Structure 1
């Protein structure tokens, strides 16, 4: 059994997508990031960066004590290794998928996240910052579109953790100032991933916890965007 500490954000959706695809049993423990539950001492023990998602594997493969994992990319790799699924059938395929997982973790996620912040959440609109992150998001979409030309999935012929990592960050493309019609290969891939039954189930679980059209209050923004070392002390 996997304990999933989760909130329906792009990084959270990655893990429910993977768990639904594999069929591995799991229990969701909601971490309401708008109420600051990510700063609770008990959560810090498994997620020292005060970010969800995080998992606790109560039945690790070595039969020992439970294993906790934080950072969504690390969780995807852990679950892929545990289940033997969605992480390449050859070394070359695994390398390709791993590169694109890291591309999402180091590029698309952070840049799209800043795009969301300055264009949706920031109390003061800063045109330079808005344009900077819209343009960089656009560049990254172009990189992804080229990668998907002539192949069904990001890492090649097989659906993988790379696709699961990237898809949730493309879901809010309109809010990021992007039009999928400009990226036909992404659009074809996006619709294919969206239609997968596991994706549908994963997003339905998120909607049940927090509907996607729920507005963020000023108090929640203060909790999410006012974090310093002093705030995150145990």
Structure 2
């Protein structure tokens, strides 16, 4: 009887010790997990802040130091608006010649937010309602205001290359004239290169596989430099 009682007590003590040990290990594991997740979240926020700061820096650099390009776009837009008054059939324009003269790509966007004519043929037929609906309010507002407006850095829909865009609506409200100029060959881009900064961050932190920056249309902002660079 005493032997059986002692055996049961021994088993009970072993079981209790196992339960206590498992409980302590579980609590420690959960604490370690929470601490690790918290630290990882802080690291991710730090990386995100760094990438965002780089993007703001390059945007400001283009906006404040690339006024010459903006002025060229303004002058070119005025010339195209005058051309539209004398030749309203935008599909009949010689876009290759216009691009050679201006050094910029030209896009004509209709009321359905479709590019119906352009010097950059891969984008002809592109419908913003289908590919990037978030841009629609901006496009319609700029068509309605009929004023010249230029952006900072954005991306070309088909190639992913970095471009600067400008917009102006025609006087009759039928079309939006968009100009585009590549920025990835400019000295400013080389000095304020967010993509180089992102690569540095990805290489530095093993926690991060990749960093994606999205434009207003929800498209992944990435740099595909021409082979000549």
TM range (shorter): under 0.3
Question: Max radius of gyration: which structure?
Answer: 2
| TM-score, length basis structure 1 | 0.23
